[in-house]
Structures are given as structure tokens and as C-alpha cells.
Structure 1
């Protein structure tokens, strides 16, 4: 297999994908997608607007109401999705290179984690196709009853830029295996792999209109999707602010149900009985993974006072030794931030940390003159009311806070509008059990971090979202539960 580098990456798909074909936007408008390593343009991509959304939703509605996809057996749909997984594996090198070019994450991560992980999720969710069934119900009187699951209809998804391929699969796979048709908007920063997968989906045998991909912007494309009267369900991953807008638009249109995976400010609680070197490893992974651009990032690290100073020293040293550079180069651990907007936002948070009195221990500056590279940054002496301890930074900025007692840290860890994830590092099982029951978050990691699996439901408490993704729950999110009752006469068994 030929290894693909930035110099020979071919961007083949730049148009909208509607009703099984690549087409220009009705307005003929395009937008630029940018290489975050350099700030240079990769390609001009078709920009969907409200009119394009209408066309795509009509295609999805026709495919749902009259097409074969919802009427196929679950097993048959599963076979098609497994074929898509095969094609993704066959084109792994090319897909990974485009993902890194468009997003900036290290190629080793795209090839070794994101693509294989996405294929695993796709195969796992596809496997539910022939395994979902209703119940028979014993009811009072001369009746028999049963329940059955049916696809909800035309589903929509709006996905983020931090994990473009994985996010697409997490949204599309459960909807498609359930028998829905879909309209999906990739993030404007990272549209290229979604369009590539659309071509693979067509090759795999997904019928026209079943999967439609509309690159565009939130206030236009996203808003038109969320408010569309003929979309039956919407799933969104992104900021809490935009999640509110999605929910409001859904309620004001046809009251479509929503699944929202929103922001986080996840606490990582490190107890003084833990091994400090293990704690540093977990904290570094929890925060710096994917350039800090991760909704569950351990962006509030609470360290018990007996270990606090040693932890700061070792965590700062590890951050200084982190390899930042061109994500296509071997050995690079951290690439650029996704775009200039995010880059400037992160630098603004770093300045606020210094201004508000946090102690900058390492990092804090831009790297180089080209692209959007930021030094891995560690702040000590962070207080709960500082911006860097309250707001989601989404970048390589570690905030370390000191605590004394477990009662204290539980109260402080829960003192946030978010509740997506949390971590606990301790050698005391009683402490682990107590904290895991006390922290209000959708996922709790004990002595590990960022462990994910298709079998594990994922979602948040409070303003981190509504609903769960992955697992059987994800498929059921795209289905309606129907009850059927019929009379039975002269049965001796009633």
C-alpha cells in the first residue's frame, strides 16, 4: 500500500452529496477549508444553504417513504453497513491523510485510533440490525398486545470538527441501521472526510437519498436543518450555546426529539495515596489528547495537597517534553489547533489565566509563525472562580487546583453547569466508589482516562447534553416504540 503524504493527497469530493450524487450548491457558493499546519487553502467546498437543505430533506423523505432502505430486513441493512466498514478499511491510508490534512491531528492518531475506532463503532452498531425486537404484553381483558420498534423517519445530524470521521459514524450508523434516512452537516472546518465517506457509502450499496451530506455553516445550513418541518429527529454535538439554539429550533418547528452531546469541564481528582507518576500520565492524556480539543478533556485537575507540589513539577516537565510539530511527521504528539478562531480563543484563555493570578509553569505561547501551533501549557495555583477553571477552553491548557478533603473536592467538582465526564486517581477502592457515586457526570474513569468502546453509552448530565450515543441506546434513539392491541375471542388462556 502506498503511503500518502500531504504532497500527494488528492481531494476528490468537494460538492454536496444529495440523493446519491455529488452536486453543486444551488447558489454555486463555495467556502475554503484550511490546512491548520500552514493556514493555506486545501480546497473550495460547495456551501449548502436553506434551498439545498430543502432538496436534501425531500430526497431523504422520498427514500424513507417509498425507498427500499426502511423496508429491508435489519440483517440486510447490516450487511450494507459492514460493506461500508470494509471500504473504509481498504481506503484507510487515504482517509487518514485527508483527516490529518483538514483537522491537524497527528497522522499516527488518524491511522491508529480514529479510523480503526470508527470502523469498530460502525461494525458494532451495524450488528444490532437483526437483534432489536419488541415485547409481548399480558393485558387485562380479552386482548393480546405487543410492541414493536420502527425507524423514526428522516434523521438529521450536525457534527463537530474535533473527531470528524468518528462523529459521522457515531451519528449515521445507528440512524441507518435503524432504517432511517439522514441529512448530515459536517463542520465547516473539516468537511472533506465526510464527503469521502459519502462516496464509499454509495459504493457500499446505500440507496440514493438515504445518506445526504451538506457542508455549510451553522447559522445557515445548520439552522435550516434544525428548523425543518420534515426532519423527524436531530442529533448535535458541539457547544452548549449552539445546543440550546438547536433545541429551540426543534421545539418551535415540529417538536422533533433531540440528542445533544455538548460542552464539558471535566474534573480529574487525584488523591494523595496514588502513584504520582501514574497520576501525571493519566492527567497528561486526559488533557492534551487531540491537542486538548476534546469535550471530555480533564480540564480541571484537582490534586490533593500532599501530592500537589510534586505533581506540578512532574506534569510541567512532561508537558515541556511533549513533541509538537507537523502532524504528518513520525513521533509528533501534538499538531496544530483546528483553525485560527480556535487558536486565538485558546491564547485568550491563557492570557486570562495569567491576568487572574494563576501561575504559568510552562508553555503559554504560539509556536512558529505559520499555522496554529500552541505550546502545551500548565497553570498551577488555579482558583475555582478563574475563567480557565470555569469555561471550556478546548485546547492544550492544563489547570491544576489544590484540595484537602474528599467532601471539599466533591462539592467543587460538581460546582459547574457541565457534567460530561470525570476521572478519579486513587489506590483506595472505598474512595473510588465514594467519588464515582458522588460526581454528577455521564462517564467516570477510575485510574484511566479516554477509554471508549461501542458498548459504552456516552452522554452528559446537566448542560452537557441530552440522551446517550453508542451502544444499543444509540439505535433506539432513532426508533419509535409502537404498541399494538387486538381482541381475542373465546381463548381459554386469557
Structure 2
């Protein structure tokens, strides 16, 4: 691509209003002008996906897989280009962008390989003249609605298993990061994915998102985003004329517990990395620290010393944290900082605006945060960390569970009993032991509990294929 505008013009073909895709590190830097999709554009995209379904579904799994494998190879070759665009469009550091690109091309390869083995099973029958077996079939046209914080890997971990299974896709990325998905489509096209198998639509969720999930031709919806929107999608699908599968990955308010047996140097590093990497803009970010009273003061000192060395700046520079994604999220973060102050929490670090040109916010830490405060209970999605003291392990687990979310939770400890108690009693879909709450491996299933997800279908791992296939049972007699 000669320019990002050329990339947008080639793959984002809406006929609606125009908006500017802006670099969050420099609000004067316009990456491209984006034309949003109208309702007619969305309907046309769904119809195109329907028209291509039979052809794509009949293509043997190994051939579908070969396309995904080729796309993964092409992305690996162009990893630097993908990472730079991600940093410019979303704001994360080049290091974090590259990490996401690596995971993304490995996801393509992983599901490309799995496409070679999607199959049913043979079962014994009580009747000597009967054979029972099952086959796995694709669902049809599926919808993927994805957020801006992981603008490449989340679209891929939805569409790759969908394509491997033989479905066609309508993909609606966040309107803040459409260029990343446009570049993904360019890679898939060059890997010989037929036109119309994946159909990109761009626009506000409240306008075109509702249209997508309500369409009776959509057989399944996979959504990652806020709990509020996820619940809305749930209600919309429940009112449809046909039964539609739904997969939801929603908000988080993840806690890291520092036990009295913890290696405090390790705990400090995990806390800072989990809270402020990716500018706190991850559903698995550490937004709450629960610290055992026996080590509270020593840990607090180490935490403050470590965060002082945390560098903030444009993601293209040698920094630890880039800007907040845009003005609306920036204003939300600032509002929660004011909530914390007014509620009586003690601001012990940060909270300052660092630049008037980009959306740079200093890492922010509050202590004396109690479970009745908004800082403790509500997802912020920014670099704001709350610290709460616990008198013992039982109180710590109670505090970890005392929110409506259950994405990830972590414990830093060497006491095996404490670790096992935490694993068995904490209500979260992913438990991390002596690891940051952020960071997932593609071969492992992922899904949150409580208001962090619908819990029925997992993403990533081989389990992701279950959402995109239906199983037909055959009794064959003679």
C-alpha cells in the first residue's frame, strides 16, 4: 500500500458519512478518511456472504486451512508494517504491537492447521446392523463484532476458526481502528481467500451493529466489548425469528492478590505490567490490587519506586506506555480519577495530563479503596489502579470476588495452600499464578465468568471451533 488512505479506499467501501481516523499520540495526524457503511451497505454485505457460503463450505477443510496458513506466512513477512500501523492507529507501544502481530499470525497458522482435522466421530451401536457417526458442519453466515484495544488479534481469533469451519463472515471492527482490519483483509485476499467470504462493514454499533445481529440470515454472533452492549445484543438476539448462537466476551475488573508469602519484587513487576501495559486498555488488565496487610507497607514502597520508572510517550518511541486511544476514553479516565478523589480514596501516584497534543495520561494509583467505591467496582479501561488491604487470605478472596465481573484473577504467592485455595474459590474464567493478569496463549480456551461473558462458548484453543460448527448425528442401517 502506498498510503493508509489507499488501504482504506480499497477495503472500506461505505457510502455513508466520512470521519477521520486519527493518531492518538498526535491529534493533528490524520491517518485516513473513512466512509461509514449505511444500512443498505450492511444488507448488501450480508447478502454477499450468503451468496458465497455454499461455495466456501464445500471447499475441503485442508484447502481452507491452506489459505489461512498462507495468510499467516504473509503477515509474518510484513510484521513490521502491521505493528507500525497498530501503534499509529491504536496508540500502544511498538513492542506491544509487535507482540500482538506475532500472536495474530500464529492464530492464522493455528486455525489453518486445525482446518485439516475438523471431523466428527464414530460411535458403537447396540444394533449389529447399525452404524452411528457424526459430522461437523458450518453454521452459515456469522457475524464478528470486535473492539479497538486488540484491533488485529481479536478479529483473527474470531474469523479464523469461523473460516476454518467453512462459514462466511460479516466483520464489524471498532470504528476507531478500521485500518488494521483493512490490512488483514488485504493479506487474506493475497492468500487467495475468495472475495465475499469475509465482508468488512464499518460504522457505529448503535446504527449498524443492531442491524447485523438482528438479521435473520446471521446464524451466530461473536462479540467482544462492554457488558452493557453485550447485554443489549443478548436481548436483540432473543427477539429474533430464528435461534442464533451468541458468544460474548465483555468487561472486566480484574484483581491481583499479593499474598504474605509473595516474592515482592516479582509482585511489583506483575502489578505494574498488568495495570499499565497497553495503557490499561485490556479486559484482562489489573485494575485492582489486593495486598495482605503483613506485606502492605513494603510492597507499597516497591510499587511506587517501580512506577516512577514507567515511561510514557508516543508508541513509536522507547516507552513503556502509549496514549489513551481517543478523547472520549481520555475524558472517562479523568472522570474516574475525580470519582476516586471525591469518594475518599487516596491518590498516591499520577493522575496528571502529560500532553495537550496527544491523549497522554500519567499512570495513576489510589489506595484506601473500599468495595463500595466506583473505583473498586466499575470497569475504567484506563491506566488507573486501585489498592486495597486485606487482613488474611479469606478476606482477599472475598474482595477479589466482590465485583460483577470474572475475566481473570491473579495471585502472587509461594504458599501452596494459599495458591490452591485461590484457584478453587475465585470466580474467574482464567486464574494466573505468579503471572500478570494480562496475556493469553492462543492454544488455551478463554472466556469470563459472571458479567464478563455468556460462559456458553469459549474463544481460542480448539474449543473455538465448537462455536462455529454444528454436529449432525447419522444412524446408518442395513
Q: TM-score, normalised on structure 2?
A: 0.96
2:291 matches 1:303: yes
- SS in structure 2 at match of 1:465: coil
What are the superposed Cα offsets for residues 45-98 of structure 1, whole Å, 9 maximum, x if unpaired?
120122111101111011003x2x211111111111011111112222222111
- Which residue is 1:115 aligned to? 101
- Which residue is 2:338 aligned to? 351
2:54 matches 1:60: no
Deviation at 1:267, TM superposition (A): 1.4
Deviation at 1:103, TM superposition (A): 0.3
- Which residue is 1:12 aligned to? 6
Alignment of 1:15-26 (within 5 A): 15=9, 22=11, 24-26=13-15
- SS in structure 2 at match of 1:485: strand
Query: Is the CA contact (8 Å cut-off) linking 2:140 and 2:167 kept in structure 1?
Result: yes
Q: Compare 422-431 and 39-48 and name the one that shifted more.
A: 39-48
Alignment counterpart, residue 450 of structure 2, candidates 462, 469, 475 = 462
- Which residue is 1:268 aligned to? 256
- Which residue is 1:312 aligned to? 300
Query: Is the CA contact (8 Å cut-off) linking 1:9 and 1:98 kept in structure 2?
Result: no
- Which residue is 2:224 aligned to? 237
What are the superposed Cα offsets for residues 418-464 of structure 1, whole Å, 9 maximum, x if unpaired?
11110011001121111111101000000012342111100111111
Query: Is the CA contact (8 Å cut-off) linking 2:368 and 2:389 kept in structure 1?
Result: yes
Alignment counterpart, residue 475 of structure 1, candidates 444, 461, 465 = 465
Deviation at 1:143, TM superposition (A): 2.9
What are the superposed Cα offsets for residues 267-324 of structure 1, whole Å, 9 maximum, x if unpaired?
1111011121111011111111200001011111100001111212221222222100
- Which residue is 2:36 aligned to? 47
- The separation in 2 between residues aligned to 1:455 and 1:429, in whole angstroms, is 26
2:289 matches 1:286: no
What are the superposed Cα offsets for residues 159-184 of structure 1, whole Å, 9 maximum, x if unpaired?
00001011111111110111110010
- The separation in 1 between residues aligned to 2:342 and 2:118, in whole angstroms, is 55
- Which residue is 1:368 aligned to? 355
- Which residue is 2:171 aligned to? 184
- The separation in 2 between residues aligned to 1:242 and 1:132, in whole angstroms, is 32
Deviation at 1:23, TM superposition (A): 6.2
Compared CA separation, residues 412 and 281, structure 1 to 2 (3 A): same
- The separation in 2 between residues aligned to 1:36 and 1:452, in whole angstroms, is 26
Q: Number of residue pairs matched?
A: 472
Deviation at 1:114, TM superposition (A): 0.9
2:318 matches 1:324: no
- SS in structure 1 at match of 2:462: helix
- SS in structure 1 at match of 2:163: helix
Alignment counterpart, residue 341 of structure 1, candidates 325, 328, 343 = 328
Query: Is the CA contact (8 Å cut-off) linking 1:247 and 1:258 kept in structure 2?
Result: yes
Deviation at 1:9, TM superposition (A): 6.0
- The separation in 1 between residues aligned to 2:211 and 2:162, in whole angstroms, is 20
Deviation at 1:218, TM superposition (A): 0.6
2:395 matches 1:408: yes
Q: TM-score, normalised on structure 1?
A: 0.93
- Which residue is 1:102 aligned to? 89
Structure 1 gaps of 5+ residues are 16-20, 489-494
- Which residue is 2:118 aligned to? 132
- Which residue is 1:18 aligned to? none
